[in-house]
Amino acid sequence: MPAPDDLEWFPETRASLLKNPVVRLLVPLILIGLYYSCCFLILPSRKGLILGGLLIAYMIPPSGKESIIPLGIVLGIPWGLMATSVVAMDLVTGLFMILNLDVAFRIPYLGPWMAKFLAQGKEFMAERPWLARLRVPGLAFFVMLPFQGTGGVGAALVGWMIGLRWWEVLLAIGIGASVEALIFALGYDLFWRLLLAHLTPVLALVVILLIIIVAVLLTRSRSRANRDD
């Protein structure tokens, strides 16, 4: 199992002020705090609290963009802000990983998962040779995949394994997360608008389908009862 001190983990991020571990820890927290403060200023207080809760939930597996973004839209958060917020979380998570690998290793559940991921790094890369060939576009595509482990944490680990610099990792996270978030946000927003615009016929169709299903089931049950008799 690799230890943080055994890895040449983005050494350029230890320059100047970032040599201080407290500064490295605070930078991502301050950035996401500033972002959320801006969101809280432009949203009604109730929706601002809802957004904060959704962003916290987004950090807890198995939550992902495919669940958090639609939920936010249903709860009244504008789709653009919802998409931007999850992208910001991915970027800040990636930055936190880049600056604070030693701290991340101490986080329950996350640390053991990271250690296992790094220990199996050669196998992981052997199964996905396109990542090393494509570099930034490859990592961006990896982030776009709607699977567990393709967010900021996984992207930072994969980016380090294929030899990207810290800013290239963040660039790939930003591109991949933005494309994925827009797909889910625009897709669900369109679906929700169409549903509301045609709510009556949709409900009528659902009721008709339920009646047909119930009728078929009753007919089958009666046929079986008659056979038994």
- Position 127: which residue type? E
Tell me if 64 sits within 8 A of 46, measured CB to CB.
no
Domain boundaries, position 217: 200-228
Work out the angle between the directed axes of helices 79-99 and 45-58 (0-180°, nearest 10). 50
Q: Do 77 and 110 have their domain in common? A: yes
Q: Do 153 and 206 have their domain in common? A: no
pLDDT of amino acid 47: 92
Q: Do 21 and 110 have their domain in common? A: yes
Q: Do 126 and 214 have their domain in common? A: no
Kindly report the pTM of this predicted structure: 0.75
Q: Do 181 and 152 have their domain in common? A: yes
Q: Do 119 and 179 have their domain in common? A: yes
- Number of Cβ within a 10 Å radius of residue 41: 8
- Position 168: which residue type? E
pLDDT of amino acid 196: 61
Q: Do 143 and 71 have their domain in common? A: yes
Our separate counts of H helices and E strands in the chain read 12, 0
Q: Do 17 and 89 have their domain in common? A: yes
Q: Do 122 and 23 have their domain in common? A: yes
Decide: helix, strand or coil at residue 20: coil
Q: Say how far apart CA 14 and CA 204 lie, in whole Å.
A: 62
> What are the phi and psi torsion angles at 151 (to 5°)?
-85, -150
Q: Do 114 and 50 have their domain in common? A: yes
Q: Do 97 and 38 have their domain in common? A: yes
Q: Do 28 and 82 have their domain in common? A: yes
Number of structural domains found in the chain: 2
Give Dmax (Cα) for the chain.
88
Q: What is the DSSP letter of 18?
A: G
Q: How would you write the pLDDT of the chain (229 residues) with one tens digit per residue?
A: 455 555 566 766 655 556 777 888 899 999 999 999 999 899 998 999 999 999 999 888 777 888 888 889 889 899 889 999 999 999 999 999 888 887 888 888 888 888 787 777 767 777 778 777 888 888 888 888 877 777 788 888 888 888 888 888 999 999 999 998 988 888 776 766 656 666 677 677 778 888 888 877 777 777 666 666 5
